[in-house]
Amino acid sequence: MAYVIKRYSNRKLYDPQASRYVTLEELAAMIRAGREISVVDVATGEDLTSVVLAQIILEKEKQHDSALPTGFMHQLIQYGEAWQDFALSSMKGHLEGLMTSQREADQALKQWATQCGWLPSSHPEAAAEKSEEIEMLKREIAGLREQLEALSSRLDEQQRS
């Protein structure tokens, strides 16, 4: 759900959740932090989100922090909606590919961690095998404790003599 910002006729942006006015830079910081915003005109109820986002980009350009290459902006204006549609579909495809790669990497990492014994296995046979191994190690530790106690008592007897 988008975080709603209200824009008044004097062009001031108001954050009703925080009960304060916000700047374009503060909105940019919210977006960089992962928050999705929605800007609504108070008088008309019109969605002004794209206009405010464009203003944020333009402010960056004014500060000589180029967000977009000049050539890209020329093409965007020249080819209009056709270019925007192409750019959006292209970015969407790349983002979907990135997300797929991320899921595959997560699965590979989980599989590797499971094989290393860092995560519990989802296979019942492997879990039973691990359980048997743990029981065997417990018996071995118990036997070593008995030997240690026997050696300790023999040492105590020898020291008394």
Check pLDDT > 70 for residue 52. yes
Q: Tokens in use for 137? A: 């190690």
Residues 9 and 62 placed together within one structural domain of the fold: yes
Residues 62 and 76 placed together within one structural domain of the fold: no
Residues 61 and 47 placed together within one structural domain of the fold: yes
Residues 63 and 7 placed together within one structural domain of the fold: yes
Banded pLDDT at 139 (limits 50, 70, 90):
very high
Residues 88 and 61 placed together within one structural domain of the fold: no
Residues 6+ apart with CB under 8 A from 124: none
Residues 33 and 86 placed together within one structural domain of the fold: no
Cα 136 to Cα 9, 127, 133, distances in angstroms: 76, 14, 5
Burial level of 69, CB count in 10 A (0-12/13-18/19+)? exposed
User: How large is the greatest C-alpha to C-alpha distance in the chain, in angstroms?
Assistant: 104
Task: Provide the 3-class DSSP secondary structure of residue 161.
Answer: coil
Domain boundary among 28, 47, 67: 67
Residues 47 and 90 placed together within one structural domain of the fold: no
Residues 36 and 10 placed together within one structural domain of the fold: yes
Q: What are the beta bridge partners of residue 6?
A: 14, 40
Number of domains in the chain: 3
d(CA 122, CA 67): 46
d(CA 89, CA 131): 51
Q: Where are the beta strands (DSSP E) in the chain?
A: 3-7, 13-15, 20-22, 37-41
Banded pLDDT at 141 (limits 50, 70, 90):
very high
- 93 phi, psi to nearest 5 deg: -60, -45
Residues 47 and 61 placed together within one structural domain of the fold: yes
Q: Is the pTM of this model over 0.85?
A: no
Residues 12 and 54 placed together within one structural domain of the fold: yes
Residues 79 and 30 placed together within one structural domain of the fold: no
70-124 confidence digits (pLDDT tens): 787 777 777 777 777 787 788 888 888 888 999 999 999 988 888 887 776 666 6
What domain range is 33 assigned to? 3-67
d(CA 90, CA 99): 14
Residues 74 and 62 placed together within one structural domain of the fold: no
